[in-house]
Amino acid sequence: MSSEPAPAPDTSGWREFLGAWVRNPARVGAVWPSSQRLSAKLARVAPGHGSPVVVELGPGTGAVTAQVARRLSPQGRHLAVELDPGMASYLERSHPGVEVVNGDARKLGELLAERRIEHVDAVISGLPWSLFDRETQREILGQVVDVIGDTGVFTTFAYSHTLPIPSARRFKATLHEVFDEVVMTRTVWRNVPPAFCFLCRRPRPDRSSPRNDPRR
């Protein structure tokens, strides 16, 4: 039997997560990185064949990033858009096969155009929607709708305990305004705190543009 000590666990992701929260707690809605079960549920929309493009918004420490990398077709393209510079730098080091973009999700179309991407097959979001005001929610959703078109899919998650919060209710209602199909998954209890996913397809052709809503 080897007498060598077991390798120490990698805690750099936790340090970056806490550092991002300290730098700007209003941007980090999570209290804990997503569990493997929640991450795997979100990553299910990543196509395993062809040459798809998958975009993550707010990937954080990369819990979902790792699951997407496992599922995504070898010919696929995987981009992670992260606003926090420290988190973006950590992702570049820990996930060298992912195209990390240090940028704002509200400029998603512009960020993708700079990289000659016209269409995205799946957008997976880890953004803290319940912390955003109506204008920000609709602005980002407008960007998502533009890049996935009629054939792409959008998925995100929410904590079960936030459902009564007005901003969370508003976000759920906005999803139903924007998408023809909005499915809520079962709660992932093995997450801190428990969470569920929204799975959205087919933007409504008669919708008003989320970015130009006169009610904002």
Q: Are 119 and 129 in contact (CB under 8 A)?
A: no
Sheet with 77-82, edge to edge strand ranges: 99-102, 77-82, 53-57, 122-125, 153-159, 195-203, 179-184
Report the SS3 class of residue 162.
helix
* Residue at 154 is within a domain: yes
Q: Position of tokens 């998502």?
A: 144
* Residue at 89 is within a domain: yes
Q: Are 160 and 196 in contact (CB under 8 A)?
A: yes
Rg of the Cα trace of the chain?
17
* Residue at 120 is within a domain: yes
Full residue range of the structural domain in which residue 44 is found: 31-204
Total structural domains within the chain: 1
* Residue at 96 is within a domain: yes
The tens-digit pLDDT sequence of the chain (216 residues) is 334 333 333 444 444 444 443 444 444 445 557 899 999 999 999 999 999 999 999 998 899 999 999 999 999 999 999 999 999 999 999 999 999 999 999 999 999 999 999 999 999 999 989 888 889 999 999 999 999 999 999 999 999 988 898 988 999 999 999 999 999 999 999 998 999 999 999 999 875 555 545 444
* Residue at 134 is within a domain: yes
Closest Cα to residue 125, out of 96, 93, 154, 150?
Answer: 154
* Residue at 12 is within a domain: no
List the CATH number of the domain containing 44: 3.40.50.150
* Residue at 152 is within a domain: yes
Q: Are 134 and 163 in contact (CB under 8 A)?
A: no
* Residue at 10 is within a domain: no
pTM comes to 0.82
